[in-house]
Structure 1
Amino acid sequence: MPIRIPDELPASDVLKKENIFVMPMSRASTQEIRPLKVLILNLMPKKIETETQFLRLLSNSPLQIDVELLRIDDRPSKNTPTEHLDNFYRQFNTVKEKNYDGLIITGAPLGLVQFEDVIYWDHLETIMTWARKHVTSTLFVCWAAQAGLKLLYDLPKKTRKEKLSGVYFHKIQQKFHPLLRGFDDSFLAPHSRYADFSSEYLEEHTDLDILAVSDVAGVYLAATKDKRNVFVTGHPEYESHTLHNEYARDLGEGMDPAVPVNYYPNDNSDNEPIASWRSHGHLLFSNWLNYCVYQQTPYDLEHFSEDNFTKDD
């Protein structure tokens, strides 16, 4: 089944060229189907690129999904046209009275910024608090995972001395957990972050299910017992050249970045990078949509209640 997005959204043409079934709102309105309603809070500067990446992963599901895009505030963007934001993004005050089946909060280039110095920190806290009563399951990605751990568990910011950049092997920890259905025992996923997520620290200070870990990158995937909060510390949505573009950007800014690990053939940045995580990314999002959202959410979102969820679900 397709994702439902505005007819004029730039991602629509990109995904159609990739043979991904995108249903325009004009056609979806004629079908008597209750689609899942998923809200994406896009914190990345290049919003068109990021929204396309997430829409690509959301499309790989038999469920029909109605996607809405949310911006954190109304500050002008240096990397996204104002017209695009005005046409396709909602402000929080226009959605705060509504309920959603799923919420995705993207990463943000704030790895070296202290939480108290993030200009929209209070607003982000408001949205995360709102989600507890208005969203069935929230997916926190990369920087958002660290922010979520701070706001939900009061865990302080833990920063690595050097940036973690590359594609790393991970081992699953609970082979029968719904989020891991279909996963190989070991799988690859990209990381690009300064945050540090050790399994020992999360096990000691939270009640999260630790689902996938890396000997180098630490915890990759964790979730609350009720599956209402899912934390992904890497970037399963990345395209094949995303890490390369970040590496080239840092070089251009006069930095001395390390070559992303296990990304270029023979670790030579002159070689064309290879995306080795694509299948895992699609499977992770399909599992989240099915087991954390669709199987948990009420049919009528007007009857959404926190009482519908227990730690034993």
Structure 2
Amino acid sequence: MTLLFDSADPIVSPALVPDGAGDGRGRRGYCDRRKPIEIGLVNNMGDAALRATERQFARLLRDGAGTRRVRLHCFALRSVPRSATARHRIDSLYSDIADLGRVRLDGLIVTGAEPRTPALRDEPYWDEFRRLVDRAEASTRSTIWSCLAAHAAVLHLDGIERRRLPQKCSGVYTSEGLRDDALLTDLPATVAVSHSRLNDLDGDQLTAAGYDVLMQAAGAGVDVFARCDRSRMVFFQGHPEYDATTLQREFLRDLGRYLAGERDDCPAPPENYFCARTEMRLAAFCDRARADRRTELIAELPPLEPRPGLAAALDASAAALFRNWLSLLATAA
């Protein structure tokens, strides 16, 4: 799946945008004939999130492109287990991962995958992922590693092990910039960012290994960090690509698994995400679920309302990050 778009192209799903779509004209009719910025997306998210991840990153690249043209190439690791439906979509629409080395990319984005083992080295995709890290370092100007992919990349590069959190880090957190960096240009002093993970990386270990911690999130730890060797590596422990409904969908998924007896603990709602009235209603519902766990109870879930202004806050900070990243790639071209 390859698509060419600029700020004038509406992105519903990459599958709906043919290769070569977009004539380089921005919203004001300006025609930018510069060579497109070539971006690869290695989408390893779980089957249920596959299409949403395509849309989310395409939207951020479109919004961050400005008058520049960006061409997005979608790939997926072959060793990530897939359902037959997801495998058919990847085989039909994605570029073959073997072609990654033959496409001249300026930047690469690599997502995490649904964890299947406690240790990253035991994941079925580990060997293929290590080769991807080495290839990205050698052949791209910059790579973004998202969430679990960030954990796996620093484990391969520097042997830094993630650590299990007492409970899942899930919610919207206030992240603060810690140093001047081109990636943070024009960002406000604090931004809102989604986090959703079971593990964490220690900031002191990262600094000792030569990484620059760029942003720290209150209640969630290290948010964005980077290193620059042959390639500029950027790591997100959070999910700036998440839209305002993603954490709600993940919470409902986990709640459904609990009611069905597929997990032992009732999930906590994401922090700083729902309005106060919804939080109170959910607390009462979760008490009922613990006392009378059954699948049918999901039909009695109260209405869920996010905090006012949440969507705008998330969109603004994510768009700024990706605008700066694309600017760095364009400057280095």
Same-fold call, TM cutoff 0.5: yes
Given the alignment of the two structures, is residue 146 of structure 1 paired with residue 146 of structure 2, yes or no?
no
Which residue does 1:158 correspond to in 2?
Answer: 163
Shift of 1:92: 2.1
- Which region of structure 1 is more displaced relative to structure 2, 114-123 or 27-36? 27-36
Question: 8 Å contact 1:140–1:148 — kept in the other structure?
Answer: yes
Aligned mates of 1:149, 1:126 — CA distance in 2: 13
Structure-2 change in CA distance of 1:111 and 1:165 (3 Å): farther
Q: Secondary structure at the match of 2:332?
A: coil
Query: Could you tell me which residue of structure 2 aligns to residue 260 of structure 1?
Result: 270
> Which stretches of structure 1, 4 residues or longer, exceed 6 Å deviation after superposition?
none
Structure 2 residue aligned with 1:100? 105
Question: Do the aligned partners of residues 47 and 137 (structure 1) sit closer, same or farther apart at CA in structure 2, a change above 3 Å counting?
Answer: same
Structure 2 gaps of 5+ residues are: 25-30, 283-302
Alignment of 1:235-274 (within 5 A): 235-254=239-258, 255=263, 256-266=266-276, 268=279, 269=282, 270-273=303-306, 274=310
Q: Is 2:32 aligned against 1:39? A: no
Q: Deviations over 1:100-146 (max 9, x none)?
A: 10000012222863112210100011111111221110000111111
Q: Does 1:178 align with 2:179?
A: no
Of stretches 93-102 and 236-245 in structure 1, the one that deviates more from structure 2 is 93-102
Name the residue aligned to 2:204. 200
The 1:231/1:80 distance shift into structure 2, 3 A limit, reads farther
Question: How many pairs does the alignment contain?
Answer: 282
Q: Distance in 2 between matches of 1:215 and 1:75?
A: 33
- Structure (1 or 2) with the larger CA radius of gyration: 2
Counterpart of 2:330 in structure 1 is: 294
1:285 corresponds, among 322, 326, 333, to 322
Please tell me the residue identity of whatever aligns with 1:247: F
Whether the aligned pair in 2 keeps the contact of 1:36 and 1:66 (CA below 8 Å) is: yes
How far apart, in 2, do the equivalents of 1:31 and 1:186 lie? 33
| Identity across matched positions, percent | 29
Letter in 2 for 1:214: A
In terms of mean alpha carbon deviation, does 273-282 or 59-68 score higher?
Answer: 273-282
In structure 1, what is the equivalent of residue 296 of structure 2?
Answer: none
| Contact in 2 for aligned 1:166/1:262 (Cα 8 Å) | yes
- The change in CA–CA distance for 1:146 and 1:81 in structure 2 (over 3 A counts) is closer
Distance in 2 (alpha carbons) for counterparts of 1:142 and 1:187 = 18
**Residues 18-51 of structure 1 deviation map (CA, whole Å, 9 limit, x = unaligned):** xxxx785155599854101100000102311111
Q: Given the alignment of the two structures, is residue 25 of structure 1 paired with residue 20 of structure 2, yes or no?
A: yes
Q: Provide the alpha-carbon RMSD of the alignment.
A: 2.6
Secondary structure of 1:51 counterpart = helix
Kept in 1, the 8 Å contact 2:148–2:237? The answer is: yes
- Aligned equivalents of 1:202, 1:73: Cα separation in 2: 30
Cα-to-partner distance string for 1:140-160 (whole Å, 9 max, x where unaligned)? 011111111111111123221
Deviation at 1:77, TM superposition (A): 2.5
Could you tell me which residue of structure 2 aligns to residue 59 of structure 1? 62
Indicate whether 1:4 and 2:4 are aligned.
yes
> 1:79/1:245 Cα in 2 relative to 1: closer, same or farther (>3 Å)?
farther
| Equivalent position SS for 2:151 | helix
In structure 2, what is the Cα distance between the partners aligned to 1:99 and 1:124?
19
Assess if the C-alpha contact under 8 Å between 2:274 and 2:305 holds in 1: yes
Q: Note closer, same or farther for the CA distance 1:180–1:82 as it changes in structure 2 (3 Å cut).
A: same
Residues 40 and 170 (structure 1), Cα distance of their counterparts in 2 relative to 1, 3 Å cut: same
Please report the TM-score for the alignment, with normalisation by the length of structure 1. 0.82
Is the 1:158–1:195 contact (alpha carbons within 8 Å) kept by the matching residues of 2?
yes
Cα-to-partner distance string for 1:150-197 (whole Å, 9 max, x where unaligned): 1111112322121100001111101x3111111111111110001212
TM-score by length of 2: 0.77
Match of 1:116? Answer: 121
C-alpha separation in 2, matches of 1:111 and 1:172:
33
